[in-house]
Each structure stands twice: as C-alpha cells, then as structure tokens.
C-alpha cells in the first residue's frame, strides 16, 4: 500500500486540529482521577459542601451570560439582494468596441478593442443608456438616473423578499466611489422610502471597490450601539456614467473596459429572526502609506484636462502585497491549528536554516467552503488563484460574475455570493470568505457563516435568467 503525501497531510491535520480531544482531555481526566483517588469520597463531598452558593452561581451563570451577550451582539445578515438592470442597458463586447471606434482616436480604439477581448466580460453586461450614445452623455442628471435605477431596484427587491417595512430600518450606510451628489446617496434613499427622521445614515465615498466591506464594518459597529434587534440597511454601488474617459491616456481607458452597472442591498440585524448568514470576522488592510500603492488607482486629469481614473501597471503587484498582509491577519483567526503550525515551522526553517526556503502557503480551503474574490479583472483573479492555490471551482463565482455582470465595484462580492446560492452549493454551517480590493490601496476581508440555506423564493435576481448557462469556459468564449 502506497501512502500519498495528501494522506499524510490529512492525518497530520486530524491529529493537530484535535489535539485537545486526543491528548489534553485524557491527560486532564487522568489527573482528576488520581486526585480523587488520593482524597477519597469523604474528602471530596466535604469540599463540595464547603463551596458557597455564590461560587456555584458564578461558575454556572457567568459563562452562560457572557456567551449569550456575545451571541446577541454579533451582526447577522438577514437578507441581501443584487440589482439586475433593465435589458435596454445591456452592452455586448461588439457594441462596446464599435462605440469606442467613434469615441476614441485610432490608437485608443485599437487599445480598447484588445482590452475588451481579453477582459473576461461577456455580452450580457450593463452600462447606463447614456453611454450607448455617440458621444456618451456623461452628465450629473444621467448620474442621478443611474443611481436611482440600480439602488431602487436592489432595495425594492430586498424589502419585497424580507417583508420589512422601511420605517423599521434604524441604520443606513451607502457607499460609492466616483459619484457623490448633493444631497448624498444616503439622502436619496431616505427620501425615496420615507425613512424615519431619527435614522443613523452614513455615506462612504472614494474608498474604491473594497468599500462594501468597509460599509459592513460601519453598519456592524453602529448596530453594536443600537437597541436589541435593530436593523441596518447597507447599499453598495458604483456608476459608469461618470467614470467614462475618452482621452488618449491608455491607463485611464481601462476602467471603461471593466466597470459595469450594478448595486447590492444588504439587511443586517442583531436579531436571530429569519437570519441567513452570521458575520464572523472583518479584517482590513490599508497600504496607502506607500506611494506606489497610493497612486496605483488614482483619479486625475490628463494632459488636456480630461478626467479619469489612472490604473497603474503595478496594480496587480500592489494587490498581491496587500492580499499577503491581509491573509496573515485573517489567517490567525480562521485557520485550523494544523495550517498555523505548518506556516510557523516553515517560517522558523527560513530564518534559521536557509532564507531561500519558501514560506508555506496555508490552505484556506481548510477554513472556508466558498470564496468570493473581487472580480476586479481577469489578471487580479488569476493572481489570487495562484497565490492562494485555489481550484477552478473555488474561483468560479468570481470568473462567472465578471463574465455575466463585469466589475460592479463594491457590489461584486454579493453577485458572487448570489452565484454560489443559485448553484445550490451553500449549506448550513458553510463559511464564506469575501475579499475586496480597492484604491488606496486596500484589501478587506469579511467572513460569513451560513445559518440557513437558500429557499426557492430566495433564488431570484440577478442570476435567475442565466444561471443554467454557467459555468462557461471563459477561454473559449472570450
């Protein structure tokens, strides 16, 4: 019989991860038995009678009370909903390429055609109708119209699914990077749904594609200070009509090839009622102190005053560095002891014996059943898959979301979660790792645990009309 390395590692994981059960528990039982044998029955009973009632009460009640308080304070995602824009907003790769031919010079058109072909996007993504015109209509009114379309569609669907009345919402957190009108997007939502005058509303701007996780943390922290069973509505979105660029700077043309229309609405609560997911951890990493990271996604004017977002060639490398720092932080709280031990041993070997020894890359599949990696682009997804040693199925939600909806910025992670649920892969107890990247540069993670798997009524937009076509072989359809 041949023992493979995978079998050896599996045995190692069982022994290390269950060390307390296999070693410490029998040892403790042996110590207690020896102590009992030395004292005798009479001495043991005498000691028990000598305990005060207050000691017994504290020993029983205090741990129970602390555990109850901890469970009550944890945020739970009651429901979430993603917008599927109207069919008149769809844009194919061919249409986007043709529009670029009339909007850009010859060099810009050829560059855009190459980027669209390699982007990993399909022919069913969405942009606002103003971008279908030649030249595109990028005005404030068009931006407001796009905002209202996607935000209202996501929130309407969420309220319909949950049956929650707007006046029952206590906290509102919205986020968008490029479009920040006055009144704010939070005020637009308050006005539309006639939310209460005492609602705690916050709008987050300029934080890039990872702003969705930041909004989660803000909503969670506000819930901790709110009364029991309070509800927080979080809305994540980005707008395509104001980041469109038609100049000659190639790096500033990239966002138009990747970003698409979309939004997600999430309802959080500290109540157990109808909860779908439990928010377990949020870990944020900011590398803006480094100039290279700070300028890798930078909004600026080109030589002739055209406004756009400049994506540096170092973006993927910067994202990799931020991810590495983030996984070190999150690995310490989610990885099983066996993976931590292997990493520690490789670290010691590298320091003591040979600096050329590679650090062990923990297998995060031992901690998570599902992965939602921000679909910022094909190169970003490839880099994350390689660095984390993920399988094609692990990374499938990211690739398919990029193909179907494009990069919808901070809302993309929720489209990926919706993909997993539409494929009926989510089970009670499963853990999900959301990883978002954003300008600054930031890498933010959120860890969820499934409390209740999705019912038939939960599987609706945005994948209802297309999930049967996925997964696709992107290399063949791009």
Contact partners, residue 64, CB within 8 Å, separation at least 6: none
Give dist(CA 121, CA 405) in Å, integer. Answer: 7
CB atoms within 10 A of CB 74: 15
CB atoms within 10 A of CB 87: 9
Q: Which helix (H) or strand (E) holds 342?
A: helix 337-352
More confident call, 44 vs 189: 189
Least-confidence region, from 212-221, 257-266, 439-448, 453-462: 453-462
User: What SS3 state is found at 302?
Assistant: coil
- Give the bridge partners for 278, in sequence order: 76, 449
User: What SS3 state is found at 380?
Assistant: helix
Give dist(CA 187, CA 157) in Å, integer. Answer: 19
| Residues 376/121, Cβ–Cβ less than 8 Å | no
Mean pLDDT of the chain: 85
- Give the bridge partners for 175, in sequence order: 204, 236
Look at residue 417 and tell me whether its pLDDT is greater than 90. Answer: yes
Q: What are the structural domains, with CATH classification, of the chain?
A: 76-477 (3.40.47.10)
Token couple for 77: 């995602």
Token couple for 48: 């028990």
CB atoms within 10 A of CB 176: 28
* Helix segments in 74-172, DSSP class H: 93-103, 106-118, 140-162
End-to-end CA distance of the chain: 45
Report phi then psi at 297, rounded to 5: -140, 100
Contact partners, residue 147, CB within 8 Å, separation at least 6: 176, 179, 181, 185, 188, 237, 239
What is the residue-wise DSSP string for 223-272? HHTSPTT-EEEEEEEE-STTS---SS-GGGTHHHHHB--EEEEEEEESS-
DSSP state, 359? P
pLDDT band per the 50, 70, 90 thresholds, residue 21: low
Look at residue 71 and tell me whether its pLDDT is greater than 60. Answer: no
pLDDT single digits (tens) 345-403: 887 887 777 767 777 888 999 999 999 999 999 999 999 999 999 999 999 999 999 99
User: What SS3 state is found at 414?
Assistant: helix
Token couple for 228: 């029991």
pLDDT single digits (tens) 241-251: 767 888 889 88
Look at residue 89 and tell me whether its pLDDT is greater than 90. Answer: yes
């Amino acid at each position: 019989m041949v023992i493979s390395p995978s079998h050896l590692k599996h045995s190692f994981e069982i022994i290390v991860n269950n060390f307390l059960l296999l070693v410490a528990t029998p040892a403790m039982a042996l110590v207690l038995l020896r102590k009992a044998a030395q004292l005798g029955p009479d001495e043991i009973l005498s000691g028990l009678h000598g305990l005060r009632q207050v000691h017994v009460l504290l020993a029983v009640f205090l741990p129970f009370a602390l555990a109850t308080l901890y469970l009550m304070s944890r945020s739970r995602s009651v429901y979430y909903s993603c917008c599927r824009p109207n069919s008149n907003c769809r844009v194919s790769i061919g249409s986007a390429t043709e529009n670029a031919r009339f909007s850009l010079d010859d060099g810009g058109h050829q560059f855009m055609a190459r980027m669209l072909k390699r982007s990993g996007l399909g022919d069913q993504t969405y942009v606002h109708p103003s971008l279908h015109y030649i030249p595109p209509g990028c005005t404030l009114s068009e931006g407001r119209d796009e905002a209202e379309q996607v935000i209202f569609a996501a929130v309407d669907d969420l309220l319909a699914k949950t049956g929650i009345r707007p006046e029952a919402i206590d906290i509102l957190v919205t986020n968008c990077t490029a479009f920040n009108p006055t009144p704010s997007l939070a005020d637009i939502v308050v006005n539309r749904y006639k939310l209460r005058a005492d609602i705690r509303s916050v709008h987050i701007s300029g934080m890039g594609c990872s702003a969705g996780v930041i909004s989660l943390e803000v909503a969670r922290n506000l819930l901790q200070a709110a009364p029991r069973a309070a509800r927080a509505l979080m809305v994540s979105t980005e707008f395509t009509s104001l980041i469109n660029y038609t100049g000659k700077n190639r790096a500033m043309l990239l966002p138009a090839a990747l970003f698409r229309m979309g939004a997600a609405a999430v309802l959080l609560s500290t109540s157990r009622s109808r909860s779908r997911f439990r928010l377990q951890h949020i870990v944020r990493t900011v590398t803006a102190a480094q100039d290279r990271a700070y300028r890798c996604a930078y909004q600026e004017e080109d030589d002739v005053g055209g406004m756009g977002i400049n994506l540096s060639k170092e973006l993927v490398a910067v994202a990799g560095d931020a991810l590495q720092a983030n996984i070190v932080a999150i690995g310490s709280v989610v990885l099983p002891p066996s993976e931590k031990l292997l990493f520690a041993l490789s670290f010691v070997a590298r320091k003591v014996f040979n600096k050329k020894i590679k650090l062990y890359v923990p297998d995060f599949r031992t901690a998570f059943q599902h992965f939602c990696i921000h679909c910022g682009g094909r190169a970003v997804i490839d880099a994350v898959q390689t660095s984390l040693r993920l399988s094609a199925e692990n990374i499938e939600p990211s690739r398919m979301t990029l193909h179907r909806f494009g990069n919808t910025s901070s809302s993309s992670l929720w489209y990926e979660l919706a993909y997993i649920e539409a494929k009926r892969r989510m089970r009670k107890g499963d853990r999900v790792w959301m990883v978002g990247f954003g300008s600054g540069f930031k890498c933010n993670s959120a860890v969820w645990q499934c409390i209740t798997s999705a019912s038939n009524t939960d599987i609706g937009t945005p994948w209802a009309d297309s999930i049967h076509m996925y997964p696709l072989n992107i290399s063949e359809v791009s």
